[in-house]
Amino acid sequence: MNNDAPTRDAVVAGRTTLGIELGSTNIKACLIDADHTTVAVGVHTWENQFTDRRWTYPLDAVHTGLAGAFEALAADVRDRYGVELTTVGAIGVSAMMHGYLAFDAEDALLVPFRTWRNTTTGPAAAALTEAFGFNVPQRWSVAHLYQAMLDGEEHVPDVAFLTTLAGYVHWQLTGERVLGVGDASGMFPIDPATGTYDTGMLAVFDGLAAQVTAPAAPLRALLPEVLPAGAPAGRLTEAGAALLDPTGGLRAGAPLCPPEGDAGTGMVATNAVAPRTGNVSAGTSIFAMIVLERPLSTVHEEIDVVATPAGAPVAMVHCNNGSSELGAWAALFGEFAAAIGSDAGPDAVFAALLGAALDGEPDGGGVLAFNYLSGETITGLDEGRPMVVRTPGSRLTLANFARTQVYSVFATLALGMRTLAAEDVAIDAMLAHGGLFRTRGVAQRLLAAAVGAPVAVAATAGEGGAWGIAVLAAYSAAVTAGETRPLADWLAETVFANAVLDVVDPDAGDVAGLTAYLATYEAALPVQHAAVAATR
């Protein structure tokens, strides 16, 4: 047990903030103190399902996972401080963005949750992009809805409410149907001048919907209310407290901040919400977010325009496939280590694999790796097949294999970043977060080569979005108490004032090697298309 009496007293008194993030493989609960330092963590592991050719999570798994993460958090508090977790000062909920959660007038789910990972809305996304003059990616909620209309799905006339995963959880905890502006910007385009859904585009959508099978109400009536960072967003109800803690130990009443998407919480976790700042979040997916000084000159299919939690426009390069395949190979090497009698744990195996990557040839020695567990819009794939491809003359070493696996995490992102470079989007520095960056100096160095800019990693890089949404909840509590500074200033002057950053500049050899690798990678993409066609 920890003898930290001040922290123990803060936990008992509720001078803490709870952040919960529902990621693709983990639901994480993070408890922070008044200094925004993590004091306890709880994690529940879950996995999406591929059912009827759609990626989904059952809502029962959402409920079970929330309780599991909170139970693990409460156990961590008990083990560290010898007290029960019965109250907190504020709560925030974050989750993977986009997707389709549609409910009827009786709040019944109409079809299984369709996640961001699905790439089945191509015709709808293309039609809306043309009609709006604004890029609508396949992942966005409005693309899912319009595709359901185009396909004549029977449930469409019964749709009474649409939301995201974070919006759904927040609704269950508070009874409020609201959404943070960052997460809302992945449902439908946001007007930066008003901070809410673009009214002109709403009218265009309703006009298109009238020509096909449409819901009973205009789209605006189906969407959650949009709130900026700092706004109050309801309080934890008795039912919400019971959802988190079925034992009845957690008391109701804590205020909640607007629910956000994982992109927004990643920006907060890396202090990248001001213009010319950017961040890269690496997990099951990988995406880069750059806060814009000015609008992009034209519509780009590979670039989303979303918003920070405060409503500022952001250019987003989103790739469906991140570090999952690298993690699968690390697990395989872990099994091999165990088979030969090694007691190396998963973290040691992963660190060894990443460390080997730095010894690989800059271009990977002729080895190619594709991490496509699902489709990838940027490279034109509706489905994907993870694979390793090499020529007979390639040099298959552990170092080259490891390097190309890390390259595969960043390759599609690098292709998308070329578009922003052509738009002369200014980036002073990119800040990276996610578990991939816990091993110092490896992924960070190769990411710098991929994005062509310095990459910084802070001590909180491994905490990720659960910590970021806890910080947003703390900001809402501060605003309620009289804080007047904008989010960017508050973060810089309060949360990150003494942050120590490890900054790595692009290495010329890595840049040249990755450039050569990407040329071969792009030329080999037909192999992916053939593999998808041949293996169903």
As its CATH architecture, domain 271-322+417-504 has 2-Layer Sandwich (3.30)
Q: Extract the tokens encoding 398.
A: 């552990």
Sign of CA dihedral 234, 185, 27, 494: negative
Cα separations in angstroms, 20 against 136, 244, 371, 391: 28, 10, 28, 46
* Listed residue (206, 509, 232, 533) closest to 360, CA to CA: 509
Cα separations in angstroms, 35 against 38, 223, 491: 9, 35, 12
The rounded distance, in Å, linking the Cα atoms of 527 and 387 is: 10
- At a CB cut-off of 8 Å and minimum separation 6, what does 29 contact? 18, 19, 20, 41, 42, 43, 69, 70, 72, 73, 466
The rounded distance, in Å, linking the Cα atoms of 149 and 214 is: 6
Residue 277: strand pairing partners: 429
Cα separations in angstroms, 523 against 165, 271, 518, 529: 37, 37, 8, 12
Domain ranges of the chain: 99-162+189-222, 271-322+417-504, 324-409+507-534
* Listed residue (427, 408, 192) closest to 290, CA to CA: 427
* Listed residue (404, 370, 407) closest to 387, CA to CA: 370
Residue 103: strand pairing partners: 109, 161
- pLDDT in single tens digits along all 536 residues of the chain: 677 889 999 999 999 999 999 998 899 999 999 999 999 999 999 999 888 889 899 999 999 999 999 999 999 999 999 999 999 999 999 999 999 999 999 999 999 999 988 889 999 999 999 999 999 999 999 999 999 999 999 999 999 999 999 999 999 999 999 999 999 999 999 999 999 999 999 999 999 999 999 998 999 999 999 999 999 999 999 999 999 999 999 999 999 999 999 989 988 988 889 998 898 888 888 989 999 998 899 999 889 999 999 999 999 998 989 999 999 999 999 999 999 999 898 889 999 999 999 999 999 999 999 999 988 988 989 899 999 999 999 999 999 999 999 999 999 999 999 889 899 998 887 888 777 887 778 899 999 999 888 898 876 555 678 999 999 999 999 999 999 999 999 999 999 988 888 899 999 999 999 999 999 999 999 999 999 999 97
What is the residue type of 521? Y
* Listed residue (291, 277, 268) closest to 433, CA to CA: 268
The rounded distance, in Å, linking the Cα atoms of 283 and 326 is: 10
- At a CB cut-off of 8 Å and minimum separation 6, what does 456 contact? 270, 429, 430, 431, 432, 501, 502, 503, 504
Contact yes or no for 110/159 (Cβ under 8 A)? yes
Strands (E), 427-469: 429-433, 455-458
Examine domains 99-162+189-222 and 271-322+417-504 and report if their fold is the same: yes
What is 99-162+189-222's CATH superfamily? Answer: ATPase, nucleotide binding domain (3.30.420.40)
Q: Extract the tokens encoding 521.
A: 């990678």
Helix (H, G, I), strand (E, B) or coil at 160: coil
The rounded distance, in Å, linking the Cα atoms of 185 and 97 is: 9
Phi, psi (degrees; rounded to nearest 5) at 452 = 65, 35
Cα separations in angstroms, 265 against 20, 66, 131, 497: 11, 18, 30, 18
DSSP string, 327-380: HHHHHHHHHHHHHTT----HHHHHHHHHHHHTTS-TTGGGEEEE--SS-BGGGT
Q: How many CB atoms lie within 10 A of CB 5?
A: 9
C-alpha Rg value of the chain to the nearest Å: 23
Contact yes or no for 91/473 (Cβ under 8 A)? yes
Phi, psi (degrees; rounded to nearest 5) at 202 = -60, -40
Contact yes or no for 323/282 (Cβ under 8 A)? yes
Q: Extract the tokens encoding 219.
A: 């789209």
Look up tokens 């966005």; give the residue. 140
Strands (E), 114-181: 161-163, 178-180
Residue 442: predicted pLDDT: 87
| Burial degree of 498 (CB within 10 A; 0-12, 13-18, 19+) | exposed
190-191 vs 38-45, strand pairing mode? unpaired
The rounded distance, in Å, linking the Cα atoms of 479 and 390 is: 56
Q: Extract the tokens encoding 294.
A: 């000015």
Q: What is the 3-state secondary structure (H, E, C) of 176-197?
A: CCEEEHHHHCCCCCEECCCCEE
